[in-house]
Amino acid sequence: MTQQALRLGTRRSKLAMAQSGQVADAVRRVTGRPVELVEITTYGDVSREALAQIGGTGVFVTALRDALVRGEVDFAVHSLKDLPTTQPEELALAAVPEREDPRDVIVARDALKLTDLPRGARIGTGSPRRMAQLNAYARSHGLDFETVAIRGNVDTRIRYVRDGELDAVVLAAAGMNRIGRSEEVTDFLSVDTVLPAPGQGALAIECTADNADLVAALGELDDPFTRVAVSAERSLLAALEAGCSAPVGALADLLADGQIVKEMRLRGVVGTTDGSRMVQLSTTGPVPETHDQALALGRELATEMLAQGAAGLMGERAQ
């Protein structure tokens, strides 16, 4: 008797389909069951508004979660950076697999690196976080470029460069790797230059909380280090009371001595989109052993950032 296929809810974009396909392969391995992809269109996919204008939070997630609750799919795969920081009680974040490269990258004309871009170069991004940090970097390094608000999938963004409308566009390294286009990257942006979005490069696998067998099976794909890192980053975001379209960057990384992981460092940044004012802080402590410890690390750093005026920098949205 053939086992019933597990239905995996995914967005329709090429990137979402690629990362969901990779998760489907892993779920087949751990469960021995067939997995079929169910394509779902989300509000964020059909709206042409800038993400900062439509609020950002949950626009790519809500339709997938609704399908889960209605029983139309068994589990769903999200880019973790798209998830609202509050987890609904009826859904379980069953697994956070090992994270891809969290960095941002640029795809520029003539294979240029960020520091090689000519004066007045136009760099496209839909992210207030990227704008804020790129503009701050330009100010502090005597560079002269303009950030231009754009939307669209990877193909659309890269086409702006190929067609000569923009000199460069900013994308996530993880996405370029997952769709097999990393050879088009012309520069990897150091996290010292641009801190990624909280949870960037990580995936979230969700199912209904009452499906204990599936929660346990999907849990086989969980990477504990990735989970504590993204939990700390998302806790920082939540404590700043910022949505996923706010100009907030965060990264938790593990500091190792040889093969032994000793500590976790959490870095956070908030800035105005023109890069004129930034609050950037970090904290280092023991690697959290529990979810609550990871959340506490994020809250502590957020408290310090708020004390330095971070809240006043987040009211701005990309115009």
pLDDT tens-place string over residues 61-95: 888 999 999 999 999 999 998 888 888 999 999 99
The count of other CB atoms within 10 Å of the CB of residue 263 is: 13
What residues are paired with 255 via a beta bridge?
Answer: 263
- Do residue 241 and residue 259 come from a single domain? yes
Specify the higher pLDDT residue, 47 or 5. 5
Q: Calculate what percentage of the chain has a pLDDT beyond 70.
A: 91
Q: Say yes or no: 116 and 251 in one domain.
A: no
Q: What average pLDDT does this structure show over 152-169?
A: 94
On whether residue 85 sits in a domain, the answer given is yes
Do both 211 and 84 map to the same domain?
yes
Examine the domain organization and report whether 92 and 11 are in the same domain.
yes
90 shares its domain with 215: yes
Average pLDDT over residues 138-144: 91
pLDDT tops 80 at residue 310: yes
Q: Mark whether 205 and 86 lie in a shared domain.
A: yes
Query: What does the alpha-carbon distance between residue 10 and residue 16 come to, in Å, rounded to a whole number?
Result: 6
Query: Within a domain: residue 157?
Result: yes
Up-side HSE of residue 240: CA atoms within 13 Å toward CB? 35
pTM score over 0.75: yes
pLDDT at res. 132:
94
What would the mean pLDDT of 213-240 be, rounded to a whole number?
A: 95
Q: Check residue 247 and give its pLDDT.
A: 86
Same domain, 71 and 204: yes
Question: For residue range 18-61, what is the model confidence (pLDDT) as tens digits?
Answer: 999 999 999 999 999 999 999 998 655 555 554 444 444 566 78
Residues 111 and 82 occupy one common structural domain = no
CATH (domain of 175): 3.40.190.10
Per the model's pLDDT, the better-predicted residue between 124 and 57 turns out to be: 124
Confidence of residue 3 (pLDDT cuts 50, 70, 90): confident
Would you say residue 317 lies in a domain? no
Cα 51 to chain centroid distance, Å, stands at 14
Summarize the confidence of residues 223-243 as an average pLDDT: 90
Examine residue 193 and state whether it is found in any structural domain, yes or no: no
Q: Say whether pLDDT at 319 is over 70.
A: no
Identify the band that residue 318 occupies on the pLDDT scale cut at 50, 70 and 90: very low
Query: Rounded distance, CA 172 to CA 161, Å?
Result: 16
Residues 113 and 76 in one domain: no
What is the average per-residue pLDDT within 144-151? 92
Question: Domain count of the chain?
Answer: 3
In a domain, 319, yes or no: no
Dist. CA 297–CA 149, nearest whole Å: 33
Give the model's confidence band at 98: pLDDT under 50 very low, under 70 low, under 90 confident, else very high.
Answer: very high
Question: What's the distance, Cα to Cα, between the start and end of the chain in Å?
Answer: 57
For residue 38 the two structure tokens come to: 């169910």
Half-sphere exposure of 192 (CA within 13 A, CB side): 1
Strands (E), the chain: 6-10, 35-39, 75-79, 91-95, 104-108, 121-125, 145-149, 168-172, 187-188, 203-208, 248-257, 260-271, 278-286
Q: What is the pLDDT of residue 51?
A: 46
| Predicted pLDDT of residue 19 | 94
Q: Are residues 141 and 77 in the same domain?
A: no
Q: Answer whether residue 75 is part of any domain.
A: yes
| Token pair listed for 141 | 């390094």
129-146 mean pLDDT: 93
Examine residue 318 and state whether it is found in any structural domain, yes or no.
no
Question: Which active-site residues does the annotation give?
Answer: 82
- Considering the domain architecture, whether residues 83 and 208 belong to the same structural domain is answered as yes
| pLDDT tens-digit map of 241-272 | 766 567 899 999 988 888 888 899 999 999 99
Q: By residue range, what is the domain housing residue 245?
A: 230-312
Whether 116 and 94 map to the same domain: the answer is: no
| CA distance to 116, 144, 193, 196, 294, per residue, from 141 (Å) | 12, 9, 11, 20, 34
Q: pLDDT by residue (tens digit) across 169-220? A: 999 999 999 999 999 999 999 999 999 999 999 999 999 999 999 999 999 9
Task: For residues 305-316, give the mean pLDDT.
Answer: 79
